[in-house]
Structure formats: C-alpha cells, structure tokens
Amino acid sequence: MNFVAVTLEFIAGQTAAVPLIPRSWAWRVLTLSDYNTRVVLYGTTLLGIAAGLLGVYMLLRKRALLGDAISHATLPGVAATYLWSVSAGYEKSLALLLIGAAISGGLGGLTVLALRHVAKLREDAALGIVLSVFFGAGVALVGIVQQDSGGNAAGLEGFIYGKAAAMTAEDAWLSGGAALLVMLIVWAIGKELQILCFDSELARSQGLPVLLLDTLLIALVVGVTIVGLQAVGLILVIALLVIPAAAARFWSDSLKQILVVSACIGGASCSIGTLTSATFAKLPSGATIVLVACGGFAVSLVFGSARGIVWQGLRHRRMRDQQDFQHFLRFAYEYLESQNNAGPFIKPGSVPIALSHLIHSRTWSAHRVLAVGQQLQKLDMVVMRPDDCIELTKRGWLAARRIVREHRLLEMYLLRETDVDLGQADRDADYLEHGLMPEHLMDLDEAMRAESLFDVPASPHPLLPETVASDLPSRVLPEQGKTA
Amino acid sequence: MSAELSWEIDGWIILAGALCAMSAALLGNFLVLRRQSLLGDAISHAVLPGLAAAFLLTGQRQGWVMFLGAASVGVLTVLLTELARQFGRVDESASIGVVFTFLFALGLVMIVQAADSVDLDPGCVLYGSIETSMIRKMPLFGLSIPRVVVTLGTTLTINSLFVAAFYRMLKVSTFDPQLARAQGVPVNFLHYALAGLVAVTSVASFESVGNILVVAMFVVPPVAAWLLTDRLKVMIVLSLVIGVLSAVLGHLAAINVPIWFGYRSTSTAGMMAVASGGLLFFCVLFAPRKGLLSQLLRQWEVSLRILGEDVLATLYRAEVAGQNAVRLVGLVRSLLVTKLWARIVIEFLQLRRLVSRESDGLRLTTAGRSRAQNIVRSHRLWEHYLASEAGMSNEVLHDGAERLEHFTDRQMRERLLVESNAPSTDPHGRPIPPEA
C-alpha cells in the first residue's frame, strides 16, 4: 500500500474519494481496534520485557552473546522438524517447529558449555564455532527443504528475518505465553541469579547449584529465542537480549532499577517497532524493532542518569572545578603566609594577591585562573580587583585555611607513614586531598596528634619563594593569554 | 549410491570454497588469538548496510565501490564498538552485539526499502549460492574462469600479502599488545586494517559462498589448528589445510549425503561449515597434546605407573615380611583397586619383566626387586624427612610419603639423605633399605 498517499489523504480529509481499505487498515493499526494487531502487539511487548529482564542477567554473567549462538543454533532444529513432519505426513504446525528449535537451540547452548569446560576453549571461540557450524547445518537442511517443497518452505524464511506483522493471533498467544513463563521463572529465581551473576565463586561457596543455574539460564535464553524467532528473526533476536540491558546500565547502578529500565526499554522497543512496521510499508518488523531499541540505546548512552555521557561530563566538570577552587584558595592562602599575613583574618582590601603569582604556582593558563577567580567571586570567597589582584573574603579565607590544613596534614602523614620524599608528598597530597571525608580528617588528626583541631600546621617543605612571583610581569592576563 | 562428479563444475566449486576458506582462515588465526572470534561474525553481518549503500549508489553488484563500502563499514563496526566500550563501559561482547545488530537491521531496512530498484536478496547474502555463481565466467590468461574464483583468488592474495608484510608486527601485537606499543608497532592501525580486510573477505565471499561459510572459516579452522600446535606459523599453515579440507569434504557431503536420505544435493556452503565443524570435533577428540583422548591417555598412563609402583612396593614389603608370593586377591584388597585394573597393571608389569606369575602367586623378578627397593627407600626417607624436618604428625606421614614416592628419583633420595642426616630407620622404626 502506498503510505504517503494514504497519509496525504488523511490530512486532506478526502475520505469518500479513496478506497477505504488501506486507510482504515492504517487507522486500525494505530488505534489497536484490530484484534490481530492487538494480540501481536501484546505478544511482542511481552517478548521485549522478558528479553530485557533476562538480558540483564546475561550481560552481568558476561555471556551477552550466548543468545546469538543459541538463536543461530535453532535453525537446524526448525528445518529438521519441518522435514520430519512433512515426511511423517503431519500438518506444518508452529508449535512443532518451535519444539524442534528449542531442542537444537538448547543443544547449541550446551555445546558452548562443553567446548568451554571440557575442551577448554575460550568463550568467544566456543560461541563462534557453535554459531557457524549449527547455522551451516541449518542452511544445508533448509536447502533440502527448499527443493523438497518449494513454496511451502517460504515459511521458514520468516524465522530468519522475523515476520511480526504476519503473525496470527494464535502465534502471538503462544509467544506471549512463553514470554510470561520466562518472566515468572526469572522473577522466582532472581535472588539466586543475582548471586550467580555478581560472584559465581560466592554462589558456589553458598551451595548454589551453579551448573544447574547456568543451564537454566541457557534454557531461558532458548525460551526467549524461540519466541523471538517469530517476531524479530533468529539473527536479530540477540539484539533484544543485549541492547535493552546494555542501555539500562546507563541509567542506574542498582540491579533492581536496571531490571525495570531494561524491561521498559525492551517492551517499548518491541511495541513501537511492531506498530511502526505494521503502519509503514516495506519495514521488516525485526529490523524496525532493533532500530527502535538502538535509538533507546543511543538516548541512554548520551542522557543516561548514571553513566550517560552528558551527566558524566557534567560530573567531571564539577569535580575539576572543585579541585581548581581548592588549589586556587590554597595558593592564595600560602601567598598570604609567605607575606607573614596569614592570620588572623585581615579585612578585605588590605592584602592583595597578584594573579600572576597563582598562575606561576599552578602552571595554569591565565584564562583558567581568571575563570576560577570569577566563579569564586560568585561564591563570595574572593574579590577580584581591577589591577589583576584578588583579595580573600572572610568566607574565602576560612575555606582556604581549612584546605591548607587538610593538605598539610596529609603531607605530614605521607611523609611519616610512607617513604615518599618531600616533592612527592606535595604531589600525592594534591591528588588525595580532594577526596577526603571529614572522618578521614579526624583520623589524620589523631594520627598526627595535632595540638588543636583548628591549627594550621606549618608546611613541611618551603613554599614558593616570593621573588619568583615578583619576577613575573605584573600585567599578565590579556597579553599572556593561554600560554602562561 | 553416489553422485557423479564433474570436474568442470565441481572442481570450480571446490576451488572457490577452498579459496574462500583460506582467505578467511588466514585472518581468523589472528582474530581467534586476539579473543575476537566474534568480530568476524559481527563484521560479516554489519557490512550489509555498506553493501546496500553501494548498490543504491552504483546500481551494480560488482566493483570496487562495493568493496570500499564494505571495508569502511567493517572499520566503522570496530570504531563504534570501541566507542560504545569506552563511553558506555559496556563489556566488549555486549558492545559488539549492539553495534552489529544495529548495522544489520539498518542494512535489512535499506535493502527492503530499495527492493524495487536493486536486485539483492538477503537470503542469497546469507546462504550464498556457490552452485549458481559458477555460471558467470570471465576470460583470464586465455582461460574461461568463473568470476567468483577470480574475486576470491584476489582476496586471498591481498590477505596473504597483508599477513606476510606485517607478520612480525601482527604476532607481537596479538600476543603482547603492550610490548608492541612500547616497540612502536602501530597496534591500532593493525587492528583496523584487520577489521577492514575481514569486511572485504566477507563481501568477496557473499555472493559466492554466503555469509555463513566465511563466519565458520574465520573461527573453526584456526581453533582446530590451535588445538594441534602451539607455533603460530604452523598454526596458520594447518588452518589453511583444514580450510581446504573442509571445502572438499563439504562439497562431497553436500552432493552425497542428502542422496542417502532420498533428497537431491543441498547447499554446499552450509555443508562446508558442517565439515569444518566435523574436523574441529575430530581435533578436539584426537589432537596430540590438547585433545581429550590424549589427555585421558596421559591420565591413564600416570595412574598405571603409580599403581604399578604400588604393586611392586607391596610385593617387596611382603617379601621382607617373609611371604614369598602374593595372590591377586590380596593385592586387590590391600591396594583398594578393582580386579580389572589390578589385572591390567599386572599384565603391564609382567610385560616389563618386573613381576613373574608363579603357581603360588606373584613374585618380584630381580629387576622388579631393585625397583621396589628404591620405591620403599623413597617412601621411608620421605617419612623420616616429613617427620623430622617438616614436623608432620605420625598419622599423616604415610599419606604424604605415599604421594611423593612416585616422583622421587635417585638424586632426590640422595638429597633427602643429606638433609635428614642419613637415618637408618623411618619414624615407625622400620629399616630404610639401601639404594639398589
């Protein structure tokens, strides 16, 4: 059907002029008034949810691609069952083909386990071998099916590429039922699976039947795969097992939330994909579902709240800013110290600190120093003066004092307890100080037996000599630019 | 019953299959050793959009544009996989899964969308029809050679040149990427070049033998070869041989096996994959060192030797205790073995003339007696050593010595003698016999 024409007529509202069937068909798809569409939609959505749940465990077990080997391994089963049922004179029945698929898929999964544990091959090699050899056998058998019964065999093609749109309500019920069963089992043994996936050694030591659970996982993958054969085809079934789970990892670090998100992404991609493929002409259902899921993955990759690029970038930036603030304040304070002006706090305006000094001590770019200074000014810790100098406010001075104190405690601790030299201690403390928690500081205090909780100990190494600072030209900012 | 072979057709088919198998297996060695066996599968699926785009652009099924499109998508696959891995911190296999299914789905949609304007059957891409592709021939060197054979031959040449030119670098970067980086080997370049060639090989094979055969040949022959040897050069040669064997056997099977069941011949490509699987299964079972059978035999050999030594020691102890011969039943009871094993061991000992069977039971021969004396000597020396030097308690001494006695030679006994100040009796008070 010509979708463009149909939509155009929708917009133009020429209802009477066009043949009713295409438009009403699209309408029925979109409004779900068609029984068949509705059932197929439910079937594939359940499949997406089941695959999403199971995929999380497969991903955590580091067996993400096992599903790929298993789904390829179903082909010889389908074709062999077909040949057998034809020669035995049975009607071609979906249930029978799916049982054949399940048997050979399971056999494929077990072969992977055997190649890994008995023949001691690596996981990737075992997967590649099972995938290609079983699929090769399937192709050979399909070759026989095709010459044997020409047109009838076209049904088998659907298994390879999926044909959700052509699914009958009966097929969909079968798929939905199987998907529900998978979900129930995952829900029932979730706890055991969790232990298995996070720490298989722990699982073994707790007396969990690891091999049995692994086999059960394979059985569940086989279940999802044979359901998925109908909807997305055997090549793309793996997408339903991998993509939602991988996407969900970007949203959370807690297993429960990952499971929920993954199930949502799986279900949503399947339903949106099925609807889209049913609405538009020439969109194979399997590929459409996968592309929708990939869209979900891309969105998660960029915007995911736990590991997404955007949030991670923002967090990185905030952390870097925080570090720069601390360094800025510390060097300002140390400058005051070198001028014997460290404390008690002197009113603003009395002791200006040249920005050139800060630039020199951190090898920062002038631009960066200016930016940090302005940000600190917004936080009411620093006052920027027009002559390229800054002053600490009371707030800034207190913060600087605390930071310097932490840095020195850490330095002294490192010097005493580890065998780093002076320069190294300064650098190490630079790295460590930003991650310190109050309780760490209490421990440090105790370890250093500081007399007072609020004293700033003297620096164990000489601070930057002020002569160097005064050697620099006083007006550095505009001229030196980023090369400072 | 068997089908007639016609060299005019079957020869070309086998040659095409063998060329494809060799091209893939050559690169596959490095994929397998780099633990990236699935990259071959992923790339050969992922090139679909590249092919489709090339078709849409040129409207041709042949030509350099197609190879270029495929190679760039192959490199793109690796690039995207790396990106997903770095930014998403998803593990490698999962990011491969995401990327290749995405690209395959994209390719599928492109093909179906453009189905009216280009003649490309996804089924053909997957299975290939090596049989029909022999029809199209082209003249070369005055011969009429199937176009497919020329394409695959060129691919094999390119792959061989690549491997030969970068052999040392590939080797270092495969076994120790960090060392390679330190030596200034362009590790990343090699990685992407390999991916590009994998893609080119996939495309070259698509029309002729189909996706599935290349995927099999990227993995199966190299793994089989790996089971047979530990040397990279030998492994490469063996993988090529196994690839060619799979092609030959696969085609013969495709022609013959279905006929046994009353059908006509079937897909050669599928059968070639199955044949390679069969060869691999053979290697898993019978490989000289890594095979299951040889491992089993080695285990048996060791247990046979140990049990034999236990029998000798038992006979020796009985002889010292004044008992001239020991019956089989007595041995079975004191060594806790099945009768069958005991019989096998005794046959073995008789064969080596260490034990003789007399009317009243088993006796040691002279050679057997000196072997037995040394074993008992090792046992008692160990017991003494374990008690005096390692401070083990009397109850566990025997078990320790029982295990160690089988792996103790003359030098070790002399060492033990020195370490434990030349004892004359073991901790239980029994004399330590002299070296025989």
DSSP B326: B
- Long-range CB pairs of A197-202 (<8 Å, 24+ gap) are A197/A57, A197/A60, A197/A61, A198/A60, A200/A61
Residue B278: pLDDT band with limits 50, 70, 90: very high
Contacts of A236 in chain B (CB under 8 A): 101, 104-105
DSSP E strands in A177-220: the ranges are none
Tell me the mean pLDDT in the region B259-280.
Answer: 84
Structural domains of chain B, with CATH: 7-221 (no CATH), 295-419 (1.10.10.10)
Structure tokens at B252: 């013969």
Please spell the DSSP secondary structure of B2-27, one letter per residue.
-PPP-IIIIIHHHHHHHHHHHHHHHH
pLDDT, residue A129, reads 94
Render pLDDT for A80-136 as a digit per residue (tens, 0 to 9).
888 888 877 777 677 788 889 999 999 999 999 899 888 889 888 999 999 999 988
Tell me the mean pLDDT in the region A246-268.
Answer: 92
Contacts of B269 in chain A (CB under 8 A): 136, 139
Q: Do A249 and B267 count as a contact with CB atoms less than 8 A apart?
A: no
- Which comes out higher in pLDDT, residue B113 or B374? B374
Residue A203: other Cβ atoms inside 10 A: 19
Render pLDDT for B157-188 as a digit per residue (tens, 0 to 9).
999 999 999 999 999 999 998 899 888 889 88
Question: Does the pLDDT of residue B327 top 70, yes or no?
Answer: yes
Q: Do A286 and B105 count as a contact with CB atoms less than 8 A apart?
A: yes
> Which residues neighbour B235 within 8 Å (Cβ) at sequence distance 6 or greater?
B29, B222, B225, B226, B228, B229
pLDDT, residue B217, reads 92
Tell me the mean pLDDT in the region A326-345.
Answer: 75
Render pLDDT for A413-460 as a digit per residue (tens, 0 to 9).
777 777 777 777 777 777 777 766 667 766 766 666 654 455 677 777
Contacts of A143 in chain B (CB under 8 A): 127, 254, 266-267, 270
Question: Does the pLDDT of residue B41 top 70, yes or no?
Answer: yes
Which of A177-191, A272-286, B236-250 is the most confident on average?
A: B236-250
Residue A401: other Cβ atoms inside 10 A: 21
Question: Min CA distance, B436 vs chain A (Å)?
Answer: 43
Q: Do B272 and A127 count as a contact with CB atoms less than 8 A apart?
A: no
Nearest to B105 among A62, A148, A287 (CB): A287
Structural domains of chain A, with CATH: 32-307 (1.10.3470.10), 316-483 (1.10.10.10)
Structure tokens at A161: 């590429």
* Closest chain B residue to the Cα of A124, Cα to Cα: B37
In Å, the largest CA–CA distance within chain B is 99
pLDDT, residue A28, reads 58
Render pLDDT for B356-367 as a digit per residue (tens, 0 to 9).
888 888 888 888
Structure tokens at A140: 């050979």
- Which comes out higher in pLDDT, residue A23 or A190? A190
Amino acid at A375: Q
Question: Do B350 and B357 meet the contact criterion of CB atoms below 8 Å apart?
Answer: yes
Render pLDDT for B189-244 as a digit per residue (tens, 0 to 9).
998 899 889 988 888 887 667 777 788 999 999 999 999 999 999 999 999 999 99
pLDDT, residue A7, reads 26
Question: Min CA distance, B207 vs chain A (Å)?
Answer: 15
Q: Does the CB of B118 have a partner CB in chain A at under 8 Å?
A: no
Question: Do A292 and A276 meet the contact criterion of CB atoms below 8 Å apart?
Answer: yes
Residue A155: pLDDT band with limits 50, 70, 90: low
Contacts of B104 in chain A (CB under 8 A): 235-236, 287, 290
Residue A16: pLDDT band with limits 50, 70, 90: very low
Nearest to B123 among A141, A157, A249 (CB): A157
The per-residue pLDDT of chain A, averaged, comes to 77
The per-residue pLDDT of chain B, averaged, comes to 84
Q: Do A239 and B98 count as a contact with CB atoms less than 8 A apart?
A: yes
Give the global pTM: 0.78
Please spell the DSSP secondary structure of B270-311, one letter per residue.
HHHHHHHHHHHHHHHHH-TTTSHHHHHHHHHHHHHHHHHHHH
- Residue of A82, A133, A156 to mutate, testing the B interface (most B Cβ within 10 Å of its Cβ): A133
Which of A383-387, B6-10, B106-110 is the most confident on average?
A: B106-110
Question: Min CA distance, B66 vs chain A (Å)?
Answer: 22
CA distance from start to end of chain A: 67
Q: Do A291 and B89 count as a contact with CB atoms less than 8 A apart?
A: no
Structure tokens at B156: 């094999």
Q: Does the CB of B11 have a partner CB in chain A at under 8 Å?
A: no
Helix (H) or strand (E) holding B99: helix B92-113
Helix (H) or strand (E) holding A471: helix A466-471
